[in-house]
Amino acid sequence: MNTRHLQKAKHTKNSNHAPTLNTIQMIEGVLDDKKEFSSRNKLSRALPKQVQSQTIEAVLQYLEKSNKVMRDKTGAILWIFADDNHKLMKVWKESAQL
């Protein structure tokens, strides 16, 4: 196998499920609108475009690390990002730090 073919194979393998910014924003928008899904499959069905399961998983992992979603042991997904929730932000600012 020549070097050119190997580089192309590596690129294809690594980029299969790398979410684009548009995909991340689409998933964030649906989660922000609906707030809760009982499974990743239900989230997938609510998306306006078809997205591969591995790509959705990558986005959900990113959103968890960004503290925008939480997932429980059953696979339920909950949108927790509160940037626009003024009541919650007020309570957070007035709360005592631990």
Q: Just give the CATH number of 3-94.
A: 1.10.10.10
In this prediction the pTM is 0.68
Alpha carbon distance 29, 23 (integer Å): 10
Determine what percent of the chain is predicted with pLDDT higher than 70: 72
Q: How many other C-beta atoms can be found within 10 angstroms of the C-beta atom of residue 69?
A: 24
Give residue-wise pLDDT tens across range 41-88. Answer: 999 999 999 999 999 999 999 999 998 999 988 989 999 887 666 766
For the residues of 10-65, what is the DSSP string, one character each? Answer: HHHHHHTT---HHHHHHHHHHHHHH-EESSHHHHHHHSSS---HHHHHHHHHHHHH
